[in-house]
Amino acid sequence: MAEAQTTFPKFHNEAGKKNVRVGAKEFECIGALPPHDHPHVYLDMGEGVQIICPYCSTAFVFDETLGPTDSVPPGLLYADGKLTER
């Protein structure tokens, strides 16, 4: 039996902000934009509301008022517009 696939947004932090608010609790961080990105790491906040990327140290904070691909500062969804399947 095949596993169900779920899609997760990818966020970048090209500007190097210390804290980023996102509307998803499960997502990937890519750090800076390619070609200077770090390994694309899956992050899951679980029951929490914050997680720190182990590669770039960005603190991602869940904001329930945002849509699943939204961020503050705005525009941090990875530019290719694709969602990662897992």
Whether pLDDT at 68 is above 70: yes
User: Quick one: pLDDT at residue 5?
Assistant: 58
Contacts for 7 with CB less than 8 Å, ≥ 6 apart: 83, 84, 85, 86
- Rounded to two decimals, the pTM is 0.86
Q: pLDDT of 4-63, one tens digit each? A: 557 899 999 999 999 999 999 999 999 999 999 999 999 999 999 999 999 999 999 999
User: Quick one: pLDDT at residue 67?
Assistant: 97
Q: Are 83 and 45 in contact (CB under 8 A)?
A: no
Q: Hey, what domains does the chain have and what are their CATH numbers?
A: 7-77 (2.60.260.40)
Nearest to 72 by CA among 83, 80, 64: 64
